[in-house]
Amino acid sequence: MSVAAPSPVGRAAAMLGSLAKRQVPIGPLTTYRVGGPAALFVRVERDEDLAAVGAAVRETGIDVLVVGKGSNLLVADAGFDGLALVLGEHFAAIEIVGTTVRAGGSAALPVVARRTAAAGLTGFEWAVGVPGSIGGAVRMNAGGHGSDMAASLRRVRVLDLRTGEDNEVPAATLELQYRRSAVRAQDLVLRADLELAAGDRATAEATIADIVRWRREHQPGGPNAGSVFTNPPGDSAGRLIDAAGCKGLRLGTAIISPKHANFIQADDGGRADDVVALMREVRRRVLEHSGVSLHPETRMVGFGPTALDDGR
């Protein structure tokens, strides 16, 4: 009688031992606060932990999810059948020398924005309203208020978990575009170097206060992941969604924000499946109304490739 070979999850769990935990809910680690568990979960607190995770990934081929701050993730209710990891505080250091800023991959964008403003630097104030990490911001070329990561990013340290290659690469090689880059799921951004401009502390902090005020006035709070769809060239996804009559539309435990049509809010204890169903319905209505096919900005985890397909 043949015995089935251990799954990648089982083999990775055996290699990682007490470092990895099984069936950890990762939905609560996202800003949507919905979604299921990861088959394996690791919080990387030391360089030794990082080496162990890399060895397990290379040996087993297990799928990897870098959670970061979870501000752009929607995790399926069924969860993620792989290894989810979060970089701990060891990777959140921020160093400022002159106009150069070195920030760890897990450093929070609002923290970097406030630290740089306090140092009299300008160019990163926009990030105060983005609840993500430096690593996640590099991967999606996060931005807002007329700027983005590409404007100040100079180089990054990236670890390829599948090959073990640990390199510093210039930003020019990352193919940074609107809400996308060449950084892959297997790539772990360990730190980023930014080049900002000398400015005035009071002015920079006033700009930050203005951005925080604007976001409170124009964007909803509660469980959401920011903009759901990318803006089509020359237009606004929020405008298109509003024009299609979707503002305030509810499906199950998910609702299009009455405050900003490109935000979906999830109820406490809600379902990721409802969020996806609402995204699908919004795409359908916008396509019917304006002929524009919207593309998700939200990174969807654990869903099939046709999750947003309306069946037509």
pLDDT digit string, tens, across residues 150-208: 999 999 999 999 999 999 999 999 999 999 999 999 999 999 999 999 999 999 999 99
Please tell me whether residues 96 and 178 are part of one structural domain: yes
What's the whole-model pTM score? 0.91
How confident is the model over 10-39, as a mean pLDDT?
97
Alpha-carbon span 175 to 259, nearest angstrom: 33
Domain enclosing residue 35, as ranges: 8-87
Please tell me whether residues 113 and 227 are part of one structural domain: no
The one catalytic residue among 71, 106, 152, 227: 227
Q: Tell me which of 59, 87, 115 is where a domain ends.
A: 87
CB atoms within 10 A of CB 141: 21
Please tell me whether residues 27 and 43 are part of one structural domain: yes
- Choose among 217, 209, 244, 214: nearest CA to 229: 244
Q: Is 181 a catalytic residue?
A: no
User: How many domains does the chain divide into?
Assistant: 3
Residue 166 belongs to a domain with what CATH number?
3.30.465.10
Please tell me whether residues 195 and 286 are part of one structural domain: no
The one catalytic residue among 33, 102, 179, 285: 179
Asked whether residue 114 is assigned to any structural domain, the reply reads yes
pLDDT at residue 312, rounded to an integer? 39
Q: Is 179 a catalytic residue?
A: yes
Contact (CB, 8 A) for 217 and 258: no
pLDDT at residue 311, rounded to an integer? 44
pLDDT at residue 304, rounded to an integer? 82
Residue 80 belongs to a domain with what CATH number?
3.30.43.10
Residue 278 belongs to a domain with what CATH number?
3.90.78.10
Asked whether residue 160 is assigned to any structural domain, the reply reads yes
Asked whether residue 312 is assigned to any structural domain, the reply reads no
pLDDT at residue 307, rounded to an integer? 82
pLDDT digit string, tens, across residues 255-273: 999 999 999 999 999 999 9
Q: Is 7 a catalytic residue?
A: no
Q: Tell me which of 61, 87, 113 is where a domain ends.
A: 87
